[in-house]
Every structure is written in C-alpha cells, then in structure tokens.
Structure 1
Amino acid sequence: MHLFVFGLGYTALQFIHLHRDRFTTVGGTVRSEDKANAMRAAGIQACRFDGADFDPAILQHLERAEALLISAPPADGRDPVLEQFSKAIAAAPRLRWVGYLSTVGVYGDSGGAWVDEATPPNPATPRARHRIAAERQWLELGAGAPFAVQIFRLAGIYGPGRNALVKVADGTAKRIVKPGQVFNRIHTEDIAQVLMASIEKPRPNAVYNVADDEPGPPQDVIAYAAELLGRASPPEIPFDQADQTPMARAFYEDNKRVRNFRIKSQLGVTLQHPTYRDGLRALLQSSEAASVRKP
C-alpha cells in the first residue's frame, strides 16, 4: 500500500514510525528543502510544499497513492491542500482512503458536559471555525467519490518527547487551575492504531472522536507526572493569574468531556493508554523517555 501524507509533523511521523512495515512506500510534504532531505535520509519520499509553491513530484505521488493522510492545518482561513490539490486528489486512480486530522475543539464549550460525534459543532475560536470548515470541504470532496473520507477529531496529543513528564523534568510544567476545567488527551500510539484500523475498514464520511476514556483537570496530569518522577509537584497557579500565550489561554475556553465510543464500536479499537496515568507510566518505562528519570 502506498501512503502519502500532507504535513509530516509530530503525529504523522509517530504513525509512520509505528506502522511503516504496513506500507510499500511512504511519501509526504514538508515546508523546506532541508527538512525534505532529512526525511529522505530516513526513508520517506518527502516533497516540499509551503502552502503555495510545491514540488511537482507531489502529483506523481498522488497518482499512485492508496492512502492519503492530511495532517496539515488550515492557514489564514483556507485549506492549502484542497486549494492546490483537490482536482488531483479527486482524480487519483488508486486512492481508497483519506484521513483528515482535525480537533475536538470544533465542539466548542459544553460547560463540562459530554459530547460525541452526533453533537453539533459549535466552534468558539477562529482556529476551530477554520477546522470545521475544512472538515466539511473534505467530506464534500469524498461524497460520491470512489475513496472514503474519514475525519479524526483529536484530543490533546501527547507521546514520546511531548508529555507532562518532559515538562516536569525540564522545569517548564505549570499547574494552572481553572475550577471545573477538564480535558481529554490521546497518546500517539492510540492515534496510530485508530488510523490503521480505519485504513483496514474504510467508512465513507465517517467522523471519529479520538480521545482517551478519562477527561481530567490539567493540573492533575502535572501532579501525577511529578509523582512518577519522585519530584515535588509545581505549585498551583489560578487561571486568572497565569502567564500564558494567547494560544495556550484559548485552550481553556473549551470545557467538555469527549466520548470515544465510535472508535471502539466501529473500528474495534481497544485503547492501549485509556487514561493519562496509563500513558505516562508507559512513557516513563520507554527508552524514549529514559532521560526524564535523571534528577
């Protein structure tokens, strides 16, 4: 099977790392030629695409692609992949599966109540509004097409090198407290198994929440990571006193609990890391996270 990825970022590369042996070839896009050369050295047929200019070799990849993963986000309110390649994708002769990585942020704020895939999106931020617009465009492209388009709404992503253990170890962790606030999370290994299960069982126009089983307060995650490392937990900081970037603060505007029943019932997925505690313990035991054990 030939896989092509628009946006060879952290999540997509974790998926490739875990399931590389399932694909005959893997190609994808990066924004610079230096990154493309690094990817090629790792065995990935990388092409440059900066949102406007692109390597013409991408069109050749699309002609042979059987699976297409879209990890590139909207930019300036538009989807650059659809703008440049919608016709080529629609005409791709071998394409059978398209996966678009979105976000649970499209649901907006539910005041901590549960949401699922049947909950009408109510995006509260421009970023989330652009995401739901892109979702709809991808589903429209797939309507009546010979390939199946699936939307994956991802919760807060963590995995090797990007997790609360690393933040506690390097001293950047903050226990910001906003009463009643909860988030779902998802380990990259579970994202990867959901994507692979979907490739094996394509469902046209399917939408999936990709989240763990236990939404929880963000300060509890930091406290548990500190406990695992045998370190003092950072002090609590009231949300209204926290020094945060506008993007970080925007995450706290949405408070919801995300149901993940559909990935289990339709794709047969059993989460490897159903809670943040499972995920952090596994990371601590892994070779990738060995450095965080050092005092």
Structure 2
Amino acid sequence: MRKSRGNFKAEDRAVVANEHLFIFGPGYTAGYIGQRALSEGWTVSASYRDDTKVDGLRKAGYNAVALEPEALKSALSDATHILTSVAPGPGGDPVLPFLKSCAGQLNNLKWCGYLSSTNVYGDHGGAWVDEGTPASPNLDRGIRRVEAENNWLALAESLGVPLHIFRLAGIYGPGRNAVRTMLDGRGKRIYKEGQLFSRIHVADIEETVWRAMNADLSSRVFNLADDAPAAPQDIIEIAAKRLGMEVPPLIPLADADLSPMARSFYAESKRVRNMRIKEELGITLKYPTFESALEDLVAFETKT
C-alpha cells in the first residue's frame, strides 16, 4: 500500500512531483481534495468550460485545462489520478466522451475516483443501507447516477485501473451549513413524519478520498456519511439554539414553499452506514455528528 505523504520531506520531492491529479469539476467538494493534493506536493490540473474560471483555478494553484479534446490529451498524458465530481445530465455523463477520446494518452494513470451520491439507493423508509444494498433509485438524477457509475466502472476496467466510487450523503462544511442558513435568514424547519437524512462534513470527504487515492485497493464503492442520521428540522433547531436565535416554527412538508428540486429530497429517507471507510481505509471521522462540528462552524461563520 502506498502511504499518505503527510510527512513530506524535501528529499522526497522528486518522487511526489510525479503524482498528478486531474480534476473534472473542481467545485466545492473536489476543491478540498485538490488543495489537499497540492499541500502534499502533487501537481493538480482542473478542467473548465467557462473562460472566466481560469484565473480562479490558477490562483488556487491548479493547471487550468479547457474541456476540449486537444487540451485534454496534452494535460492527461502524465496524469496519475483522475477525480470527477461532474453530475450526469439527461444525456449522460459529460466527461466520459472526452476521456474515451483521450484513452490513448492515459499511459500513466493509476486511479480513478467518482464522486457520486447516496440517492442511488432510493427510498428505504428510514432504514439502514450499506454498500451491499442494491441501487434502486426513485429519482431521475439517481437513475442517471447509477448509469454513470456503471459507465465509469467499464472505462476504468478497460484502462486497467481501479475506480473508487464515493457515494456522498448530504454535504456540509464552511459556508454551506445550517449555521450559515440561520445567519442568512433562510432557516426553515420543514417536517415530514419519519424523515431522516445522513450528512457528511467536507473535511471527512477530503480525508477519505485522499486515503483511497493512496491505497492499493481494487475497484469498490465507499459510502461517505457520518455516524448520526438526523431529521432536517432538528439540525436547524440545533444551529438556531447555539446562535441564540429564535427557533423557526415547524412547517409541514405539504405547506412548505419549496422548489421542485428541494421538495424532491423529501421523497427519499434512509440512514447510510459508513463502516467500509473505517475498516478498509482506517478512517476516524473528524466530525462524526453535526453537533461535533457545530463549534467549528459557528467560529467560521461568525469570524467577521
């Protein structure tokens, strides 16, 4: 097993510099992973469609690469790791056609990672699911995720590299959390009988993906969720009380003013088990519950 290079030394630089992570979709979550790789001495490249994103990517320390065939062929020629966070659309995964056209340039590739979603499991009425639970999505976006996972797996097999699929629960972290929601005046306690969501802090996603990237493991699925699934209204209540703010009233789901997308999240309820990341990657969650992250979130959101 290749070990994490957390204890990076100057004499190791030539070796570490050979590791090159290419990120498709360097957004909120993938950005944390990209910054971790940079901090460990890796080269990191990131794709873009919009020219206005180039300066931001370069300031973040990335090689900015246009999402077009010739630029990708050059940039991917020495990539050792590929991570994608791009969600599939109605026409399928938009990244796969580019990668297939560049397959001949992927001679140094060791690993692929796909940031997926726990919505592939569908609705389980609040029951527990794990990586062995068959995918049975109810929503169109979950159906597209399953298809994308399978297509990425087929590509990885054709390239002879492992694919790690990370099925992410509800992501929160600095700038994206219930504390921020309350401070912005957007806190709502929407209630549906028996509704439970699993969550995961972005710092724990970063650590888990980093360990998987540096592990000698064959293709597999990892659930990324914390230890304490909770009702959404309870999380808002916890944040409001910690901030000394009035707890928003309960609003039955039927009466809630929600977009179709937001309402669709209430169509599925499940609790997501996370034992595989603990047993196979040695993960100890930094934030095993929302409450354990609360003080850090408050400190970040109120630091001004």
Range class of TM-score, shorter chain: over 0.9
Structure 1 match to 2:66: 48
CA RMSD for the aligned pairs?
1.5
**1:15 equivalent in alignment to 2:25:** no
Query: What is the alpha-carbon distance in structure 2 between the residues aligned to residue 18 and residue 268 of structure 1?
Result: 18
Structure 2 match to 1:224: 238
**1:290 equivalent in alignment to 2:299:** no
Cα displacement (A) at 1:91: 4.8
TM-score, length-normalised on structure 2?
A: 0.90
Query: What is the alpha-carbon distance in structure 2 between the residues aligned to residue 204 and residue 89 of structure 1?
Result: 20
Cα displacement (A) at 1:200: 1.3
* Local SS of the residue matching 1:274: coil
Q: Give the 5 Å matches for 1:87-106.
A: 87-89=101-103, 91-106=105-120
Q: Give the 5 Å matches for 1:40-119.
A: 40-49=58-67, 54=68, 56-89=70-103, 91-119=105-133
Cα displacement (A) at 1:83: 1.6
5+ long unaligned stretches in structure 2: 1-18
1:191-250 deviations in Å (ceiling 9; x for gaps): 000001101114222100000111000000000111111111111111110000111111
Query: What is the alpha-carbon distance in structure 2 between the residues aligned to residue 219 and residue 202 of structure 1?
Result: 41
* Equivalent residues of 1:155, 1:185 under 8 A apart: yes
Cα displacement (A) at 1:42: 2.6
1:23-52 deviations in Å (ceiling 9; x for gaps): 431111122011112211332111233xxx
Q: Give the 5 Å matches for 1:183-202.
A: 183-202=197-216
Query: What is the alpha-carbon distance in structure 2 between the residues aligned to residue 248 and residue 56 of structure 1?
Result: 38
Query: What is the alpha-carbon distance in structure 1 between the residues aligned to residue 36 and residue 99 of structure 2?
Result: 27
* Equivalent residues of 1:68, 1:99 under 8 A apart: yes
* Equivalent residues of 2:24, 2:46 under 8 A apart: yes
Structure 2 match to 1:2: 20
5+ long unaligned stretches in structure 1: none
Quick check: 136-145 or 154-163, which moved more?
A: 136-145
* Equivalent residues of 1:142, 1:148 under 8 A apart: yes
* Local SS of the residue matching 2:284: coil
Consecutive aligned runs of 4 or more in structure 1 exceeding 3 Å deviation: none
Distance 1:125 1:77, change over 3 A: farther
Find 2:264's aligned residue among 250, 253, 256.
250
**1:131 equivalent in alignment to 2:126:** no
* Local SS of the residue matching 2:285: coil
Distance 1:90 1:214, change over 3 A: farther
